[in-house]
Structures are given as structure tokens and as C-alpha cells.
Structure 1
Amino acid sequence: MTSSSPDLDALLTWIRTESPTHDRAGVNLMMDLVAAQMQDAPVAVERIPGTDGLGDVLVLRAGPRTDEPGILVMSHLDTVHPVGTVDSDLPLRIEGDRLYGPGVYDMKGGAWFCLEAFKDVARKGTAARPLVFLVTPDEEIGSPITRPMIEDFGRRSACVLVTEPARDGGQIVTARKGVGRFEVHVEGRPAHAGSRHKDGRNAVYEAARQILAIEAMTDYSRGITTSVGLIAGGTAVNTVPQHCRFPVDLRVETVADGKALTAALLGLKPSHPDFKVTVTGGMNRPPYERTEATSKLFDHARSLAAEIGFDLVSAPRVGGGSDGNFTAALGIPTLDGLGIDGDGAHTLQEYGLISSIAPRQKLMTRLLETL
């Protein structure tokens, strides 16, 4: 496939470079492309080796070299699609205004054009504050190796801009639910399902009771959801199962509800003394609540968008988490959803809207120049 736009060709190379989180080589190829993208600009590039089998981290610095709190921009280059997706289930293609491909919406499209804006501002020397662009390899699995770095840079920043994809027609994100992850292990007593059935204590049966209790914690009026999407237990069809395990996904809108639901989940008790229930885990991402400072930041962004020629709208609270949750929880004004418009994140219908790139790149440029 070809394109008349050299810039778009560069983005197509990004999408062809598949980078699922646990493919360290693929993620590092993406980091190579970013480093190469910055070679002809006055941008300092620091590369930090990844740990735990994950890819490297890039820290890009530009703007005035002062101790003043700066602007932190964050992108992740890991995706959820396995290697080979671009050659089979989600081929790279352009259909009208839609650019299809694995990771184009979440979030290579936004990362790419925001890096272009960062480079442009660095070249022109128009930033009033120090600029830091943090490019991470592990957001899709909860940022286990980069969270301390994100929070450290966040504490030293005046504001944070996150290039996650836009929502529902280009809406920006100013609040997200917090995300909890828990693992539940139920242990019963094994027995022959035919001759010794009454001696057994069925761990799958007890797990079902626990799941009913967990799902009943959902409270839509408070924005609380609990979900069990996987379950594993037993060894054979004719054996009363001794073990059953399942993960729990928790979403909450407030810190207080996060604490309350965490306590409830960790405090689950068996229905009978012959069973044992063990729960581990906790909040993976704190709630990203919209503060007055974030509202002011959004108002500024909206005024810039109006000058560029489009209306910037804030989405309702988003259910999914991002690295913006970490900085917002520290009280740092955070704008999210500044990336490409489109749809289909984490699906085989993922696409970005080509027409959204230019105006949103201009918005990022102006934010870096005026904050």
C-alpha cells in the first residue's frame, strides 16, 4: 500500500511494526523509530532499558532548561494485538477517511502525531516551560515497571497531557474510573464423583457462590462495576474439584469506593468451614477524578481548539484506565484522550480517522507552546 503523504507513510511504518506488550523486540523496534524521529531536532533522548522482559523506556526532553515545573506528555507504544495480526485478521489499509491496523487507534496514531508536535515545538523553540515526553512499553498491562517513573515525572510537572485515543467523535478525557484487579482461589476437598461424592467439597460450586456475591457488588448508581470474565477449576469430569481460580475486574469512580470495594473483596469468606477462600490484589489504577485545575486546563485546550477551528468536548467519565490515572491521583492537572479519533480499540475493527490528525496535532502544538 502506498500513500501520497510522506508523513502518513511514516505512520504506516509504525503500524506495520507490531509491538504487543510482551514482545520486547517489537516494542524496542518502536522505540528505535521514535529515537530516529527525533534525530534532526534539538531533543535530548534518554533510553532506559526495560526490566522483567519488557521493552525499553524513552525520555525525551526539550524546551528551556530550567527548574520550573514543566509539561509532561505520555504515550505508550505497546499494543494488545499479537504478532501477525497485521498480516491476517486486521490488515493495514485505508478506506476513505479510515486507517485500519493493529494499534492505530490505541494508540500509535496519537503518539506519532503528538511526537511530531513535540519535535516541531522543540525546533521552533516556542515552549515556555521545560518539556518531557515519556514513551512507555507497558501501559496495556497496567504499567508495572513505569508507574514509579510516571509518578516521579508527574510530581515535577505543572500539567500532564496523555495521547490516548479520543472518544466518540473526538471527545477529550478529563475523568476515568479507577481499576482494581484481584485473584480469587477457592479450595475444597477432592473426591470421586461417583463412589465418594458426599465426601467431596466442590470448589467450583463454592466459586459460583462467591461470584454471585462479587457480581452483586455492582452498583451502577455509584459507577461501581465488578466482573468475573474467566474461571478455571477441576481436573476431570468424574472428580469433585479441589481447586477453582478466577480473576475479578473492579471499576470505581472515587478513591473512597476503591477502598471500600477492595476491603469487601479481600474480606470474602467461604460459605462453609470446609472451604478456603484466598483473595489477593488491589487497585491497579487509582480513580482519575476531574478537579478544578483539570477543568481549567480543559477550558484552555477548548479555547485553543476553537482558534484552530473545531469544538473540543469533554467526554463523560471513561470506564477504562490509563497512565493519566496515576498523575491525576497525585493532584496534577491531567488531560487525556488527546490522540487520534476513531474506534475499535482492542478489536479487529480498529481504525483511526485520518482527518483528525492535522487539527489535533495543531492542538498539541499549541498546548506545548501556551501552558
Structure 2
Amino acid sequence: MPRPTPPMRAARDQSTRMVEMLGELVGHESPPGSLRHLTRCADLLSRWGEEVLGRPARRVVRDGSPHLLWEADDQQILLLGHFDTVWPAGTTADWPFSVNGTIATGPGVCDMKAGIVQMFTALKLMASTARVGMLLTCDEETGSATSRDLIVDQARRSGTVLVGEPSTPDGRLKIARKGGALYRLTVDGRAAHAGVEPHLGVNATVEAAHQVLVLRAMNDPAAGTTVTPTVISAGTTTNTVPAAASLAVDVRAWTDAELDRIDRAIRTLQPHLSDATLSVRQEVGRYPMAPQRAMGLFQQARAAARDLGLPPPGGARAAGVSDANLTAALGVPTLDGLGGVGGGSHARSEYVDISQMPDRAALLARLVDRILAAAPSTAPSGVSRSPSIRSIA
């Protein structure tokens, strides 16, 4: 077995501290929308970032949500991540951070608190952080509503974005992602007594059921397009014809054209029942992350792994979306999946392999050094810095 290179030895010297940091960060619960918890977690991360970068975070608060930004004057690379999780407050009471051998578990341990620890460790290992910015947001899991413009602005001024979301369980980086959209379909009907005069009502539940079948028919398995009705609510009492119903629809697709096709189809849905009315609102939208935005950086990452004596990572196409979709849609070179090696995100089976964390931190640091060694002092040509972004949101 080859002897580890000096950067690898430096990274592995951080192993114990990385696990300690991960346990502390998982213990700082950060459920979506809980401003008290998010602020407490942001306080911890702010301290860590200042220790590593030698400059304080700028806390960007939007609707109470605290996002953390460490800007660089001549920023060439943006390290991007999020510290919110999908887990409600109190989850750590019955599912605390724990380590069994090389496997750590706990809420958010993989998505994406291990990635944050790795990013901070990578910053320690870099030759220079003078041209590296870092942005940690706290609303990615709910659609990045308050952080979207911040992400866009920082991606444009950087020219390269490296995202600390988890890799695949076998360590592949994410070179493409499906795009996604969430729609809210509202049905307005008419109430009536369900036992005495149901014929005088317009049943919103029945109308919603018809729409579910129409939506299911929009799926295209050959193209990988999924249209999935999810949460539905309707009615008030068991003896009343429902006057209103609400239906959430999750859409995923590999291409802009497929997302646009589904968007047009959903917006032109027609009611099945006479006197029922439909309205559609899109709540979240991200175009796909196309592989051409990642391939140059992916090859650099493989070369960085070889520099360190590590096996070059493979590439994967991910069905889920992340903030990488936003930056790639700008035309900014973006590579995702540079975070923890693990799996089970959003489930009680969530885990990360802590033995891989130092190596992945070293890989990220080496990748940054390689990019900066070849980077000009201004953003790469072809990267738009105009104020607009094509978006389905």
C-alpha cells in the first residue's frame, strides 16, 4: 500500500476532531423553519468559520432565516452548503448522534452536516483561502425561498461552485441532477349536506381524485419524468360534501423541455365536474443540473484524487435536486456530491462513513488548489453576471 502523501497525513490527523465536530453539529438541531434552532446552529458555524478563515461571517437574515456568508475579495470559488435538515425539533432525544465502528448516525448526519465538517476541514488544508468564499444556507430543504437570490449572486461572482451535498453511498460525485417542481392544486366546489342533499353539492374530493388520475398519466418512464400527487386534504365534517380540496404534486425530470411540458400541462388542467373550479400555484422550481456544467470540474476532481494517491471517484446522475441546480442553470461550472460518503438521507437509516471524511476533505482541498492554480483573476468567460435567471419558480 502506498504511503499517504503529506496532504493526506494532514487530513487524517484531523480525524478525531472531525468526528467531534460532527457530533456537536448534529446535536445542534436545525429543523426547517425553526428560527430559534437555526439561529443557535448558525452561531456555532459562525464561530467555526471565523476560526478557519480568519474573517467573520456576514449573517444574511431573510424573513428571520439566518444564512452565513464568508466572502472573499477576489472570489473565484464558492463552497456551497446548507445546515437545515428535514428532522423536527426533539429528534435527537430518541435518535442521538452515535458511532458504531466507522458508521455515524443521527438526524442530518449525511445530509449534510458531514459535508459541512469536511468543508471546514478542507479550508484548513488549502494552500490559500484568499479567493474562496463559503455560503451556508438554512432553507434548502424547503426550496431555498429566502436564499435563492443570495446563491445566485455569489455563484455569479465566483465563477465556480463546489457543493458539499452527500456523495452516493459508493463515493461517486454528482455530475447531473434532475430538475424538480412542486405544485399546489386547489379545487373549489360547493358544500351540501352529504346525506340529505348531496346532489346539490360539488364534491371537491371527487374532483381532486379525477385530477390525480390525469396527473398520473403525465408520467413518462422512458424519459425518467415523474409526476407524483403527494399530500391531499379536503372537507370539513363527515356529513358535508367537501367544498374545497388541496393537492400537492411533485414533478421531476432530466431535461428543461420535460419540465416545461409538465408545467404547461398542469397549468391547463380542466375540471371534470360541472361547477368545480381549479387553480394552480407553483411553490418550488429548479431546472436540471446538466452534466456539461460539471464535467470539467469532475475531471479535475479525479486528477486531484490521483495527486493524493486516492482512487479517482466516479460520477453519478442524481434524481434528487439541490442548490447545485440553481447555480448550474446560470451556466456556472458546478460540481456536487463533495460531502459525506453515506446514505439514507431523510430516513431513520441515515448514516455517514466517518473513515472517509478526512480523505474527502483532502480531495476538496486539493481540487480547490488545482482550480485556483489555473484560474484567472476574473470570472471565466461565458459566465453570465446579469441580474436575471431563468427559473421555473
TM-score, normalization by structure 1: 0.92
Q: Say yes or no: does 1:95 pair with 2:100.
A: yes
Deviations 1:277-323 (A, max 9, x none): 111116511111111x52121111012113321230101x2111111
Q: After TM superposition, what 4+ stretches of structure 1 lie above 3 angstroms from structure 2?
A: 38-43
- The answer for the alignment partner of 1:342 in structure 2 is 342
Tell me the secondary structure at the aligned position of residue 230 of structure 1: strand
Counterpart amino acid of residue 21 in structure 1: P
Deviations 1:319-339 (A, max 9, x none): 111110000001111100100
Q: Distance in 2 between matches of 1:7 and 1:266?
A: 48
Counterpart amino acid of residue 272 in structure 1: L
Q: Say yes or no: does 1:79 pair with 2:90.
A: no
Paired residues of 1:206 and 1:271 also in contact (CA < 8 A): yes
Paired residues of 1:60 and 1:134 also in contact (CA < 8 A): yes
Q: How do 1:1-371 and structure 2 match up within 5 A?
A: 5-54=16-65, 56-62=66-72, 65-66=73-74, 70-88=76-94, 90-121=95-126, 124-125=127-128, 130-281=131-282, 284-291=285-292, 293-308=293-308, 309-315=310-316, 317-371=317-371
CA RMSD after TM alignment: 1.8
Deviations 1:69-108 (A, max 9, x none): 60111010011111111111x2221111110111110000
Tell me the secondary structure at the aligned position of residue 230 of structure 2: coil
Q: Distance in 2 between matches of 1:354 and 1:369?
A: 24
Tell me the secondary structure at the aligned position of residue 246 of structure 2: strand
Paired residues of 2:52 and 2:123 also in contact (CA < 8 A): no
**Larger deviation, residues 32-41 vs 231-240:** 32-41
Paired residues of 1:118 and 1:368 also in contact (CA < 8 A): no
Tell me the secondary structure at the aligned position of residue 74 of structure 1: strand
Q: Distance in 2 between matches of 1:21 and 1:195?
A: 44
**Larger deviation, residues 278-287 vs 39-48:** 39-48
Tell me the secondary structure at the aligned position of residue 272 of structure 1: coil
Paired residues of 2:52 and 2:120 also in contact (CA < 8 A): no
Counterpart amino acid of residue 30 in structure 1: C
Q: Distance in 1 between matches of 2:258 and 2:37?
A: 38
Deviations 1:41-82 (A, max 9, x none): 44322322422232x1211145xx43xx60111010011111
Q: Distance in 2 between matches of 1:42 and 1:179?
A: 34
Residues 327 and 39 of structure 1, relative CA distance in 2, 3 Å threshold: closer
Paired residues of 2:139 and 2:146 also in contact (CA < 8 A): yes
Q: How much identity, in percent, do the aligned residues show?
A: 36
Counterpart amino acid of residue 313 in structure 2: L
What are the ranges of 5 or more consecutive residues in structure 1 without an aligned counterpart?
A: none
Q: Distance in 2 between matches of 1:215 and 1:157?
A: 41
Residues 155 and 74 of structure 1, relative CA distance in 2, 3 Å threshold: same
Q: Distance in 1 between matches of 2:237 and 2:336?
A: 48
Q: Distance in 2 between matches of 1:38 and 1:282?
A: 32
Deviation of 1:225 after TM superposition, in Å, equals: 0.5
Q: Distance in 2 between matches of 1:312 and 1:42?
A: 28
**Larger deviation, residues 272-281 vs 337-346:** 272-281
Paired residues of 2:77 and 2:131 also in contact (CA < 8 A): yes
Counterpart amino acid of residue 166 in structure 1: S
**Larger deviation, residues 178-187 vs 273-282:** 273-282
Residues 256 and 282 of structure 1, relative CA distance in 2, 3 Å threshold: farther
Tell me the secondary structure at the aligned position of residue 50 of structure 1: strand
Residues 324 and 194 of structure 1, relative CA distance in 2, 3 Å threshold: same
Tell me the secondary structure at the aligned position of residue 227 of structure 1: strand
Q: Distance in 1 between matches of 2:198 and 2:120?
A: 63
Q: Distance in 2 between matches of 1:39 and 1:277?
A: 51
Tell me the secondary structure at the aligned position of residue 170 of structure 2: coil
How many corresponding residue pairs?
357
What are the ranges of 5 or more consecutive residues in structure 2 without an aligned counterpart?
A: 1-14, 372-393
Tell me the secondary structure at the aligned position of residue 117 of structure 1: helix
Paired residues of 2:27 and 2:96 also in contact (CA < 8 A): no
Deviation of 1:224 after TM superposition, in Å, equals: 0.9
Deviation of 1:5 after TM superposition, in Å, equals: 2.2
Counterpart amino acid of residue 58 in structure 1: L
